A and B are shown apart, each in its own frame.
Chain A
Amino acid sequence: GDSVTQMEGPVTLSEEAFLTINCTYTATGYPSLFWYVQYPGEGLQLLLKATKADDKGSNKGFEATYRKETTSFHLEKGSVQVSDSAVYFCALRRAQGGSQGNLIFGKGTKLSVKP
């Protein structure tokens, strides 16, 4: 079945450091890929998405590129801030009926940014 694998956390960085959170997926066909962010005590918010190979999603300084050849969608940010501390989820969705149309999430990666 479909699945998403993220790097294990927690990830601890100093402010202004470079961030990479790895995400790889297994799915039939051409899923859309998403990154969601969950701040403490809140629900999930869409951070960015990409719907086809080589698409780059970007938002708030975060970027991720849909790499079909490596089935990856790694999240990057050039300079993190304390306010970026949160849990980040990679997810995919296929355009199929039944359960295959659901969003499938990775296990989440907790990021802590220190001043």
Chain B
Amino acid sequence: DTAVSQTPKYLVTQMGNDKSIKCEQNLGHDTMYWYKQDSKKFLKIMFSYNNKELIINETVPNRFSPKSPDKAHLNLHINSLELGDSAVYFCASSQDRFRGTEAFFGQGTRLTVV
């Protein structure tokens, strides 16, 4: 059983389109995240959700909107895609947000905007 699964694994789309990436975790965790990994492998937190409530929204363009229908799911919707949005997007979850808790990551979604 995959603990954190995201779909699709690859996404190629044109500038200006709107797309969504889905994420599900079957670990019973309370907290879920979206990270963006750029071409240099740098990981940056985008959003953090705890029990379906947005905890932090880092300085991400408002074209990106997370949606959490329940605590096992955290989807990422992106409007008006731009070339600079091309990256690998990782979903992750953790039991909570306390210091000793590790995060479990999905396989990533490689988004290419052409």
Contacts and interface: CB of A to CB of B under 8 A. Distances in A.
Interface residues of A, number: 29
A25 to B, nearest CB: 13
B90 A43 contact: yes
Interface of B: 4, 33, 40-43, 45, 48, 55-56, 58, 90, 92, 94, 97-108
B102 A49 contact: yes
Interface string A82-115: 0000010100011101110111110110100000
A42 B106 CA distance: 8
Contacts of A44: 43, 90, 92, 105
A108 to B, nearest CB: 4
19 contacts: A31-B99, A32-B99, A34-B102, A36-B105, A42-B108, A43-B4, A44-B43, A45-B105, A46-B102, A51-B99, A51-B100, A89-B43, A93-B101, A94-B99, A101-B98, A103-B92, A103-B94, A107-B42, A108-B42
B56 A30 contact: no
Q: Nearest 5 A-B pairs (CB), nearest first? A: A101-B97, A95-B99, A43-B105, A105-B43, A44-B105
A44 B3 CA distance: 13
Contacts of A97: 55, 97
A102 B105 contact: no
Contacts of A93: 97, 99-101
A103 B59 CA distance: 16
Given A43-B90, A107-B40, A99 B58 contact: yes
